[in-house]
Structure 1
Amino acid sequence: MNQRQSVSHILSSHEHEQENAYRIRLTAVLDCIRFLLGQGLAFRGHDESESSLRQGNFRELLKWYSLRKKKVAKTITLNAPGNNQMTSPTIQKEIVNACAVLTTLAIIKDIGDGFFSLMVDESRDSSVKEQMAVVLRYLNKSGQVIERFLGVEHVTDTCSQSLKTAIDKLFARHGLSISRLRGQGYDGASNMRGEFNGLKSLILSENRSAFYIHCFAHQLQLAVVAIAKNNLQVGDFFNYVSMIVTMVGASCKRKDILRQSQHEKIVEQLENGEKSSGRGKNQETSLARPGDTP
C-alpha cells in the first residue's frame, strides 16, 4: 500500500543514485584527463597495482582529486562497481581519443571555408615507425595567424607518393580540400621539394595556388653548414664544441666540475659589475652535438 516501499520505487531510486554516481565519477575522470592532456604528461606508471606507492599520473591525480571532494571519493576506487571503475588503460585511451576528435573538429570548424597552408615533416619514432606530422596554418576570424597540429600519420615509406596518399586520406577524413590550400612548407629533402616527383610538385599539379616555401630553419642551417665548411676557424669552433660535448657529457664528475667553474666565473663577473643579475638571466643551459640538419 505504501508506494515508497514498493519494489519498482526502490529499483528506480537505486538506478537514479547509480546514474548520479556515474556522472560524478565520469566528470572527475574527465577533469584529470583534461589536465594531463593540457600539460602533455604521461598517464600510466610503471606499476599501477593497488600496493604500489606510485600508480602513475592519472591514478595519483584522481586519488588526489578525490581527497578534496567528498562526493568524488564516494564514487571512485573501492566505492565504485567492479565493472565500472573507469580507470583501466582502455577507458583512458577511449576518452583521450574522444578528446582528440573534439579538438580536431574545433580546428576544422575554426578554419571553416577559409584558405590554409600545410606544413609537413616526417621522422622515425622510438618504435622504428615512420611518422608524418601535419600542421595547418591559417587566419582566424580575428585576422590572427594560427598554427594548429592536426595529427600524426603512419607512413610505410617516405617516398613522395606515399606522403601524398597519406595527406589525401587525412584531408578526406576531416573534410578538407586541396583546392583551399594556399601554401606548402617542407624541408629541402628531394622527396619533399623535388621539381618533378616531389610532394610539392604532386600537390602543385592539382592546385597551382599552393605555393611552396622552403623551411627557413633548414635554409639557415644549410647556410651555416656551407659557411662552416669553407671557413677553417668556424669549422674548428664546431669541432671543439663537439669534442667538449662528448668529453663532458660522458662523465657526471666532469659535468659537475664544469658547472662549478662556470658558477664561480659568473659570481666573479657579477661582483665586478661585468654582468647584471635579474629574472631569466645567467641561467644554466646545455650544449647539443652539432649536426648538418636542425
Structure 2
Amino acid sequence: MSKDAAFCLWCYLFGEGHKHGENAFTKIGFRNWKKAIQKFKEHEGGGNNSHNYARAKCFGYKDQKHNVDYVFAQKSSEMEIAYRTWLTAVVDIIRYLLGQGLAFHGHDESSQSVHRGNFLELISWYCERNEEINSVMNSNAPANNQLSSPDIQKQIINACATEVRNVILNEIGDKYFSLLIDEARDSSVKEQMSIILRFVNDDGEVIERFLCVVYVSDTCSQSLKNAIDEFFAKNGLSLSRLRGQGYDGASNMRGEFNRLKALILKENRHARYIHCFSHQLQLVVVASVSKNGYVLHFFEYLSMIVNVAGASYKMRDNLRQQQHDARVKCIEECGVLTGKRKNQEMALARAGDTRWGSHFKTILRLFQLWDVVKKSDSGSI
C-alpha cells in the first residue's frame, strides 16, 4: 500500500531468477490499474508458466514433508545408510576370507548351484542370521549395486592389501632391512616377482613380511631391478637402507656382472648377497639322495617312464585316450559318481631337482595312472 503497487506474493518469494519471471510483479510493482484485471489474468495464465512454478515452490516450502526435494533428500540419506551397512558386511566377509587364506570364487556361482563359492555363500549365511543385513542386501539392494561382482571384490581386496602394506611399512620405519625376491609364472603364464622384506623390530625379533607380487615383462636382471626401484619409490623405501639381498641360485639373480645382485651392489655396497638357504637345502637333499644307489636308480627309471610316456604328442594323446576309456568303463561298471570337477584328466608330472616336492607329485601321478600307462602303446613301457 505504501508504494501504491501490486505484487505477486508467490512470484515475489520464489519467482526471482526464473527465466520466465516478470519484474512488474516482483521488483518494480504493477500500477496500471486501468488494465489490472486483464494483466492479473495474463500473469496467472495456465500450465507451466512462471507464476504457477512459483506457486508450486511456495506450497512445497509450506509442506516440506511432502516436498519432492525433501523426500529425495530423505531417500538419499536412507540409501547412504543402507549402502554403508552392506558395504561394511561385504568388507567383513572379505577380511575373513583373506585372513583364512580361502578362495573367493566357486566353479559354479549360478543361483541354482549348491555351492556358489565361499564369498557368495558367506553373504547368504550372513543375511540368514542378521535381519539388518538381509534388509539391505541381495534382492533388497539395487540390481546395479550388489557389491558382489568379481571386480568389486578385487577393488576391496586391493584396498585391504594397501592398508596391510602401510602397516608393514610403518612397522619398518627407518630401520635397515634385507630384500628377498623370487620369480615364477602364474597359471596364466605371466611372470610374477614376489617381494619380501626382512628386518628387526623394536623388540629385537627378526621379522619377515611379504609385501606384494609384482608383474614383470621378463626375468632379465634389468627388468627385475626396474620393478624393485618402482616399488621402492611408490612405497617410500630407500635403497640406501638395504643391508642384504637373498635370492636363489639363478644366473640372472646372483651373476657377478650386470646381474640383479651386481646392479644393486653398484648403488649400495652394503647390500650383501646371501644365497637362499631353502634353495641350498633343496640342492643338498637332491645331492645326498643321488648318492644312494637304490634311490638314484628308482628316480632314474621314474624319469624314463615319464619321458617315454610323454615323449611325443602321439604318445600323450594315446595316454589320454586310454585314461578316458578306463574312466568310462569304471563309470559304467562301478557306478562312479560323475559331475563337475570329478574324474578329471591327469597327466604325468616331471620331477625337478630344485623342487623336491615335485618328486612326490610325480610318484603320486604315476601310481594313479599306472594301469593306464602299462596299456598305452609307449614302446619300452
User: Taking structure 1 as the reference length, what is the TM-score of the superposition?
Assistant: 0.78
Paired letter, 1:207: N
Give the match for residue 95 of structure 1. Answer: 156
Give the match for residue 265 of structure 1. Answer: none
Give the match for residue 202 of structure 1. Answer: 263
Measure, in 2, the Cα distance between the counterparts of 1:36 and 1:293.
32
Give the match for residue 175 of structure 1. Answer: 236
Which of residues 41, 44, 47 is equivalent to 2:105?
A: 44
Measure, in 2, the Cα distance between the counterparts of 1:208 and 1:187.
20
Paired letter, 1:102: E
Measure, in 1, the Cα distance between the counterparts of 2:225 and 2:184.
16
Give the match for residue 14 of structure 1. Answer: 75
- Over 3 Å counting, the alpha-carbon distance change for 1:138 and 1:79 in structure 2 is same
Measure, in 1, the Cα distance between the counterparts of 2:72 and 2:88.
24
Q: Does structure 1 residue 220 correspond to structure 2 residue 281?
A: yes
Measure, in 2, the Cα distance between the counterparts of 1:221 and 1:90.
39
**SS state at 2:267 partner:** coil
> May I ask how many residue pairs the two structures share in their alignment?
257
Deviation at residue 235 of structure 1 after TM alignment: 2.5
Give the match for residue 34 of structure 1. Answer: 95
- Over 3 Å counting, the alpha-carbon distance change for 1:85 and 1:226 in structure 2 is closer
Q: Does structure 1 residue 70 correspond to structure 2 residue 70?
A: no
Q: Is the 8 A contact 1:137 1:145 kept in 2?
A: yes
Matches within 5 A, 1:138-177: 138-177=199-238
Q: Is the 8 A contact 1:200 1:212 kept in 2?
A: yes
Measure, in 2, the Cα distance between the counterparts of 1:125 and 1:8.
53
Give the match for residue 191 of structure 1. Answer: 252
Paired letter, 2:91: L
Unaligned runs of 5+ in 2: 1-61, 308-322, 324-348, 356-381
Please list the CA deviations of residues 180-212 of structure 1 after superposition, one character each: whole Å capped at 9, or x if unmatched. 101111111111111122211111111111111
Please list the CA deviations of residues 52-105 of structure 1 after superposition, one character each: whole Å capped at 9, or x if unmatched. 333222111111011111000000011111222111222111111111111111
Paired letter, 1:226: A
Please list the CA deviations of residues 132-179 of structure 1 after superposition, one character each: whole Å capped at 9, or x if unmatched. 111111122222211111111122222211111111111111111110
User: Taking structure 2 as the reference length, what is the TM-score of the superposition?
Assistant: 0.61
Deviation at residue 238 of structure 1 after TM alignment: 5.0
Deviation at residue 3 of structure 1 after TM alignment: 4.8
Judge which range, 66-75 or 38-47, deviates more: 38-47
Q: Does structure 1 residue 134 correspond to structure 2 residue 156?
A: no
Which structure is richer in relative contact order (CA contacts within 8 A, separation 6 or more)? 1
Which of residues 128, 136, 145 is equivalent to 1:84?
A: 145
Percent identical across equivalent pairs?
60
**SS state at 1:75 partner:** coil
Please list the CA deviations of residues 245-271 of structure 1 after superposition, one character each: whole Å capped at 9, or x if unmatched. 99xxxx9xxxxxxxxxxxxxxxxxxxx
- Over 3 Å counting, the alpha-carbon distance change for 1:113 and 1:48 in structure 2 is same
Measure, in 1, the Cα distance between the counterparts of 2:86 and 2:290.
62
Q: Does structure 1 residue 61 correspond to structure 2 residue 122?
A: yes
Give the match for residue 23 of structure 1. Answer: 84
**SS state at 1:205 partner:** helix
Q: Is the 8 A contact 1:241 1:289 kept in 2?
A: no
Unaligned runs of 5+ in 1: 252-287
Deviation at residue 237 of structure 1 after TM alignment: 6.0
Paired letter, 1:60: E
Paired letter, 1:171: F
Which of residues 101, 112, 119 is equivalent to 2:173?
A: 112
Judge which range, 43-52 or 86-95, deviates more: 43-52
Q: Is the 8 A contact 1:118 1:134 kept in 2?
A: yes
Q: Is the 8 A contact 1:111 1:140 kept in 2?
A: yes
Measure, in 2, the Cα distance between the counterparts of 1:227 and 1:88.
51
**SS state at 1:202 partner:** helix
Judge which range, 235-244 or 175-184, deviates more: 235-244
What's the Cα RMSD here? 2.8
**SS state at 1:188 partner:** coil
Paired letter, 1:199: L
Please list the CA deviations of residues 194-243 of structure 1 after superposition, one character each: whole Å capped at 9, or x if unmatched. 11222111111111111111111221222333344445355246558879
- Over 3 Å counting, the alpha-carbon distance change for 1:225 and 1:10 in structure 2 is closer
Q: Is the 8 A contact 1:33 1:58 kept in 2?
A: yes
Measure, in 2, the Cα distance between the counterparts of 1:153 and 1:93.
16
- Over 3 Å counting, the alpha-carbon distance change for 1:231 and 1:85 in structure 2 is closer
- Over 3 Å counting, the alpha-carbon distance change for 1:23 and 1:154 in structure 2 is same
Measure, in 2, the Cα distance between the counterparts of 1:79 and 1:180.
53
Measure, in 1, the Cα distance between the counterparts of 2:222 and 2:72.
61
